[in-house]
Structure 1
Amino acid sequence: MDYRYLQVEAKDHIAIVTINKEKSLNALNTELIKELRDCFLSLEKDEDTFSIIITGKSKAFVAGADISEMVNLTSEEAFEFSKFGNETFLIIESINKPVIAAVNGFALGGGCELALACDIRIASYKAKFGQPEVGLGITPGFGGTQRLAREIGQARAKELIYTGKVISAEEAYKIGLVNKLVDPDELMNEAIEMAEAINKNSKVAVAYSKRAIREGLQTSIEEGVKIEEESFKECFNAQDQKIGMEAFLERRKPNFK
């Protein structure tokens, strides 16, 4: 895959996607969002890719959306920009493979929203998070009002969005926005180690677990457990269930296909 703003590297069934738009601190414009959309749709179909890591080049993960592109948008153009970004982030969120955000620096506005669309967030101690859109006279536009509240609770999400406050990686970890904090030079190693740990397990079971969590959180507990029951059922239609259980009974490690 050849992109202007993305570098994609394959390593032991892990796809490492690096956003490389350094001059604007990896700010999201329409072209970059299109590349992210195309990249993740391609990776979903790639049978050699079991998990995905996304990170940013230099000192930013993604510093936000590209203000120079947005400043003169009409309201209808702004609607289409927000819709396209949301559709792309929904693809990232719902892809049938785990996605790990390795947050190396600024994750503000659209950058925080991109990290929120990922399954797991590992952050460098140098990372910064925030939804500062209200200071620009706009709301978050790529899912921030929805995912942030689901991740850290309504009260904390309202505080961050209403004040536009930028928080440290340590505070992000304390409020549950980040799974793990590491030294900057250990960030990618930690993300790769986590991807490798996931990849050892059944790809089918991980995919069904991801779907059950995502879909279940959008509904009641009663409906959620029905989604889980269906996912549990479908695992028994796949070869991995026999491989995993037989290996357990024989006291050996499974060799999932």
Structure 2
Amino acid sequence: MDNFMMIETGVQGKIGLITLNRPKVLNALNRQMIHEIVQALEEFDRRDDVRVTVLSGKGRAFAAGADIEEMADEDAIHMEWMNQFADWDRISMIKKPVIGAVHGFALGGGFELALACDLLFAADQAQFGFPEVNLGVMPGAGGTQRLTKLIGKTKALEYIWTGETMTASKAEKLGIVSRLVAPELLIEETMRFAASLAEKAPLSIRFSKEAVYKALDYSVYEGMQYERKNFSLLFSSEDQKEGMRAFKEKRLPLFKGK
């Protein structure tokens, strides 16, 4: 892996680990940090020995927002030329599962990064929100889009317009968080789930992820056509043969991602 300055990376078993590492500023996200996160995600996506990535934050928060110092004096034309959200767009191209482990605050850009994960495990004391309205701006890295698709127009507008935070319990009820975990068990439970997922058929995981995301934008008919194409494609894989053979032989399958 590259020598990163603002994140830490590692591999445990079949799990890639990315840890936000600016604890003194509650992991505030600047452009370099996002670039490093995306580079690490893409590297894990290419590696045959990694099947799942877990994203977490060091210190007292997952990520308490974007780095305001970096943006305060920006102007619209420079931001347009800089195309600063291009790195964010690359996150949606990651094929393998990305699981976020959120503790403390996930606010502003930190909430957007959490929403870009496929699943979220959250400490039961975590808080989520978009405070941008109090700074005279709005979410710009996908927050208005991903939150609306998850919880609907009415609730999304309420949280974006008021800037209020939501508890982890509320986020779970709204379908943002997959599982609530005691803070001291957050990483352990996230890693246990990731390890279990890493033993599943990698191509099945990959193709089903693609189909589920298509469901967000396609009509039911179009989505079903995409689903059926991926379903059929899996029958050309060695893993499909192994999975069904293992079922008939009453043993655990050994999937290779081929």
Superposition TM-score, scaled by structure 2 size = 0.95
In 1, the alpha carbon distance for the partners of 2:234 and 2:181 equals 35
Per the TM alignment, residue 221 of structure 1 is displaced from its structure 2 partner at its CA by 0.7
In 1, the alpha carbon distance for the partners of 2:215 and 2:168 equals 29
Q: Aligned-residue CA RMSD in angstroms?
A: 1.2
Per the TM alignment, residue 251 of structure 1 is displaced from its structure 2 partner at its CA by 1.2
Deviation per CA, 1:203-235, whole angstroms, max 9, x where unpaired?
Answer: 000000001111232111111001101110110
Per the TM alignment, residue 21 of structure 1 is displaced from its structure 2 partner at its CA by 0.6
Structure 1 vs Structure 2: percent identity of aligned residues?
40
SS in 2 for 1:121: strand
- Does the 8 Å contact 2:204/2:234 carry over to 1? yes
Q: Which residue identity lines up with residue 176 of structure 1 in the other structure? A: G
- Does the 8 Å contact 1:216/1:227 carry over to 2? no
- Does the 8 Å contact 1:107/1:128 carry over to 2? yes
Q: Does 1:21 align with 2:22?
A: yes
Superposition TM-score, scaled by structure 1 size = 0.96
Q: Which runs of 5+ in 2 are unaligned?
A: none
- Does the 8 Å contact 2:30/2:66 carry over to 1? yes
Q: Which residue identity lines up with residue 198 of structure 2 in the other structure? A: N
Per the TM alignment, residue 16 of structure 1 is displaced from its structure 2 partner at its CA by 1.2
In 2, the alpha carbon distance for the partners of 1:39 and 1:165 equals 32
Partner of 1:211: 210
When the two structures are aligned, how many residues end up with a matched partner?
A: 255
- Does the 8 Å contact 1:93/1:119 carry over to 2? no
- Does the 8 Å contact 1:20/1:26 carry over to 2? yes
Map 1:1-257 → 2, pairs under 5 A? 1=1, 2-79=3-80, 83-85=83-85, 87-257=86-256
Structure 1 residues 39 and 122: CA distance shift in structure 2, 3 A: same
Q: Which residue identity lines up with residue 212 of structure 1 in the other structure? A: A
Q: Which residue identity lines up with residue 207 of structure 1 in the other structure? A: R
In 2, the alpha carbon distance for the partners of 1:189 and 1:233 equals 36
In 2, the alpha carbon distance for the partners of 1:235 and 1:88 equals 31
SS in 2 for 1:217: helix
